[in-house]
Chain A
């Protein structure tokens, strides 16, 4: 099955770019996801990328996928204090219908 790893914390200054990294183990993964969890809330899907793509951009968010290294990243441009949250990476193994989640990266944005 899939195993997803990500660092636990990231601290950035407001206005800078944030890059959150994730590695996964299953080379047959079909979809990879980024979810955001704000305090006191459930997870919210931010974006996902299909495995035949290597980049996806959506406004301030850029997802990069390196299939060779099984590495996924989420770049947030012009990070704001409202971006402070926990970001979860998840992967969907080939043949599975339910994604496997990482432990989440706490993003702290300071003035």
Chain B
């Protein structure tokens, strides 16, 4: 595997389910991100981790819970979601939160549908 991978690619869940999204980067990076991409809205930054420490929580509802056990893996735990949470969830990584261009590398995303 190369780059940034995400599983599952598609997920359909009911509002009472609990599920998790997984992201893995094979680039040796130290910063990882979760973004939400909805139709007709700008890309929304959700969470940022730098060297496994959470550095940003962009006012995300508590029904989304991130976990970063090491610099290569990032999870997003989902619990009692709402239909408006249906979106493409993108994971990204970059070398680290430091000076310079901080080029981000994105995974293919998980298409989430909440019924």
Q: A7 an interface residue at 8 Å Cβ cutoff? A: no
* From B6, B45, B56, B106, contact of A43 by CB (8 A): B106
Closest chain B CB from A87 CB (angstroms): 13
What residues of chain A lie closer than 8 Å to B90, measured between beta carbons?
Answer: 42-43
Question: What's the A-B contact tally at a CB cutoff of 8 Å?
Answer: 51
Cα A55 to Cα B105 in complex, Å, equals 23
| Cross-chain contact A99 with B42 (CB below 8 angstroms) | no
Residue total for A at the interface (Cβ-Cβ under 8 A): 21
Closest chain B CB from A7 CB (angstroms): 13
* Chain A interface SS verdict (over half): strand
Cα A61 to Cα B6 in complex, Å, equals 29
CB-based closest 8 A-B pairs: A42-B106, A97-B97, A101-B43, A43-B106, A31-B101, A42-B108, A103-B42, A42-B107
* From A35, A43, A99, contact of B102 by CB (8 A): A99
Q: B104 an interface residue at 8 Å Cβ cutoff? A: yes
Q: A24 an interface residue at 8 Å Cβ cutoff? A: no
Contact with A along B22-49 (1 / 0, CB 8 A): 0000000001010000001111010010
| Cross-chain contact A99 with B40 (CB below 8 angstroms) | no
Q: Mind listing 15 A-B residue pairs with CB under 8 Å?
A: A31-B102, A42-B92, A43-B90, A43-B92, A43-B106, A45-B104, A48-B101, A88-B43, A97-B97, A97-B102, A98-B45, A98-B48, A98-B97, A99-B102, A101-B43
